[in-house]
Structures are given as structure tokens and as C-alpha cells.
Amino acid sequence: MVGWSGTRKTLTILAFIVPTLLGIMVFSLYPIFFNIYISFTNRNQFRPNPNCQNTLTAIFEPSCWAWAGNEAPQGIGEPFAINDPLFRNYIDLLGDLFSPEALLSLLVIGLVLAPFFVAQAVNQRFGKEISRPVDPGWVWLGAIVLAAGLGLALNLPNAVGRLFDTGDFIVVMIRTTLYVILNVPLFFLVGLMLALILNSDYIKGRTVFRVLSVVPWAASTVAVMMSLVWQFFFREQGTVNQLLGIFGVEAFAWLNNDVTAFAVTVIANVWYSYPFMMLVILGALQSIPPDQYEAADVDGATFWDKLMNITLPLIRPAILPAVVLTSITTFQMFGTVWAITRGGPTRGALEPGATEFVMIHAYKQVFETQAYGRMGAFAVITFILLFSATLYSLRITRITSGAYDD
């Protein structure tokens, strides 16, 4: 190609990448840095206006951009400013977490969880050996038994209760983590069960059933409206209580009880989300060579033997990224839970509700109490925790290097 060098080549390359880079800067990097800046300020409903004389404020606050034709807003009261001390919002959120009682509680929880990390390390160490000294199932069973024993000996419920007393941040984080821990295994189990059924040659009309199984996932595009249906099911005069009334069971306020409201949000989210996991597993099942199962049948393998030794190991590379993705999306759940419970039920005006997860808590703090600086710090801490958890999950699952590579 004649002339394809030097300045012309550079300009052509820039013409392709500059629009993308500008889009990333405007829609990704700027909001991130703006949020970090806000997290170090005392901006709230009483100090909503910026001080455009401050250099950082003049850079980040759009209303201070004179070059864009904007005029600095004038309001009653003092403008918001950088906190003194700088990390005040972070201290308010995490200060009690570093008290002796909270640190002792974290130590107890760490000791109870330690057997699971040891089991993961043992299985990863011997995972590729043909003759393993111990079956991985027994390793995990031993970890569960040991963790249960440590939990009883160290009074794990009391340790968790002390953490709940450290402030709203820990309460919201623990509840959100529990929500993820309950949802993701259910996604997998329901998706695996339906994928195995729909992949069976004994099922007639599999195409129709596959389409019907994806309906909840399609309905999730209008999650708020569908969640209102779930709310109608479980309200006091709803469908569930009407059905129970036929059998003489007294109506129950499902959405006014902490445990049952939490369970309802789990059920609704599993209904929305299992089709994704089912489709991933179904695609992975169809990629398994049939001769693997034929050889197992010749050896007299049972259904359980084939599931544990052929099916699950071979679909593992497809499942692991799906598990990580669904964990992240569940951690960020908002629309479904908000439409069903609005974060409730609550015990007091200042206490987070039983289903007030991370995104709902942030929404309430921003749009109801207008604590912008505090929620900026909350978002930064949440991002760090979620980013760290994602990196750790990528490391232990070895997704980025291949499921069976070192």
C-alpha cells in the first residue's frame, strides 16, 4: 500500500481510537473520579452548592465550568467543602469496625471460614493428579464439619451479632453477602436440573420447553413490573394467602416479617435468573462427546457417577464465569427487591430494613437523606470490596488462564 506510513497512518489510527477513548473518559472515568472527590467532601442536603473558588471543585463540578456557559449556583448557607479530617466519611462508615469487639468478631469469623480456604487449597494442589490421596468430596465434607464445630465452639452467632452493632455499613454488607450466598447456588442447582432434563433424549418437545424455560429471563427486562406481580402474590390479601385460606390456614403478612420478606426476594430473583445459568449449562452439556457417556455405561457407571466424574468436570469451564457474573449482578440487585419490599420491613426510621441491600441503601441515602459525601465513600468502599472479591474469584477459579491450566 502506497503512502500508508508516517503522519497519515497515525491520524488514521487516532481517528479510530480517539472517539472510544473520549467515550470512556466522559462516561466511565469522569464519574469514577467525581465520586471519589465527592467522598472526601461534606456535601449533603444542607450544603448542596459548590464553592467554585476551590480548584478541585472547579475541575470536577459541572456547574462551575464557565467555558460550558454554566454559572455557579447561588444558594442559602455554606457551600460544601473538603472534609477535615479528610477521611471523615470513611471513618463514620468504618470507625466502629476497628473497635476491639469488632476485630475479635472478625477473627472468629475468619477462623470459622479458614477450613474452606484450606479445602480449596488442598483440592487445587491435588486436582490434576490421577491417584488422589483423598476424594475432593470428603475434603469439603471435612471442611464443613470442622467449620461447624468451630462455629459452635467460638459462638459464631454472637460474633456476627457484635458486627451488626458496629453500624449500618456492616449490616448492609452482611445481608447483601448472605443474599448472594443464597441466590447463586440456587441459580446453579435449578439451572443444572432443568438443563439435564432438557438435554435428555427421553423428553419430547424439548424445543417448546426450552422456550418456556427462558420466559422468566425475558420477563426480567421489565423486572419492576414483574416484581409487582410477586408483591401481589405475597401481600396479606394476595394469591398465596388466598390459596392457603382454602385449606384453612390463616393469612400471614409475608412482607412484614424479616425472614419471609428476605425469602420472597430470594425466590423472585431465582425465578428471574435461573434461565441464564440453565442456558450456559445446556450449551456446555451439548458440547460433551457422547462417547464419554457410552464408555461410562460400558463400565457400569450410575447416573451419579457420570454426573460427578464426567458432566460436572467438563462443564466447569463454562460454569465458573457464569457464577462470577451472577454473583456480581446479584450483589448489585436493586429493581426486583425495591419493587417487592422497598428495602423493608424496617424496625426504625434510622435502621436499614431486612432487605435493604447495597444498592437500595445507597439509593435511600442519596435520594431520601441526600448524604452525597457519605454515599460517595460508601460507593468507593463497595467498589474496592467487590473488585477484590472478583479478583480473588478469578484467581481460585483460574478463569483467565483456562480451567485446567496452572
Residue 59 lies in a domain: no
Torsion of CA 121, 322, 357, 380, to 10 degrees: 70
Let me know whether 211 and 322 are in one domain. yes
* Pair (202, 332) in one structural domain: yes
Is residue 335 included in any domain, yes or no?
yes
Domain tally, the chain: 2
Please indicate, yes or no, whether residues 316 and 187 belong to a single structural domain of this protein: yes
Q: Does the bond joining 317 to the residue before it have cis omega, within 30 degrees of 0?
A: no
Alpha-carbon span 232 to 340, nearest angstrom: 9
Q: What angle do CA 308, 311, 314 make, to 5 degrees?
A: 115
Residue ranges with strand state E in 323-391:
none
Q: Distance between CA 272 and CA 340 in Å, rounded?
A: 14
Whether 386 is covered by a domain: the verdict is no
Does one domain contain both 270 and 316? yes
Per-residue pLDDT, 399? 59
**Residues 314, 308: Cα–Cα separation, whole Å:** 10
Amino acid code (one letter) for 52: C
Could you give the percent of the chain with pLDDT greater than 90?
A: 27
Q: Is residue 314 part of a domain?
A: yes
Host domain of residue 229: 168-370
Q: Which pLDDT belongs to residue 401? A: 56
Whether 138 and 214 share a structural domain: no
- Both 365 and 278 in one domain: the answer is yes
Say if residues 370 and 44 touch (Cβ distance below 8 Å): yes
Does 153 fall in a domain? yes
Q: What is the CATH number of the domain that holds 217?
A: 1.10.3720.10
Q: Match 390456614 to its residue by C-alpha cell.
A: 249
Among 150, 165, 180, identify where a domain stops. 165
Q: What is the pLDDT of residues 90-126, one digit of tens each?
A: 888 887 888 888 889 989 999 999 999 898 888 777 7
Looking at residue 75, what is its pLDDT? 59
With respect to residue 7, please indicate whether it lies within any of the assigned structural domains: no
User: In terms of domains, do 127 and 273 share one?
Assistant: no
Instruction: Report, as ranges of residue numbers, the positions in the chain whose pLDDT lies below 50.
Output: 1, 402-406
Q: What confidence score (pLDDT) does residue 70 get?
A: 59
**pLDDT given for residue 44 in this prediction:** 86
Residue 406 CA to residue 391 CA, distance in Å, equals 16
Contacts of 380 (CB under 8 A, 6+ apart): 35, 36, 39, 90
For position 1, what pLDDT does the model report? 47
Among the candidates 141, 165, 189, a domain finishes at 165
Residue 224 inside a domain? The answer is yes
> Do 241 and 136 belong to one domain?
no
Residue 307 and residue 219 share a domain: yes
pLDDT tens readout for residues 304-344: 888 888 998 899 888 988 998 899 899 988 888 998 998 88
pLDDT number for residue 406: 44
Burial of 376 (0-12, 13-18, 19+ CB in 10 A): buried
- Does residue 344 share a domain with residue 254? yes
Q: Are residues 106 and 158 both part of a single domain? A: yes
Please indicate, yes or no, whether residues 207 and 265 belong to a single structural domain of this protein. yes
**What's the rounded Cα separation, in Å, for the pair 143 and 151?**
12
Position 184 scores a pLDDT of: 94
Residue 199 placed within a domain: yes
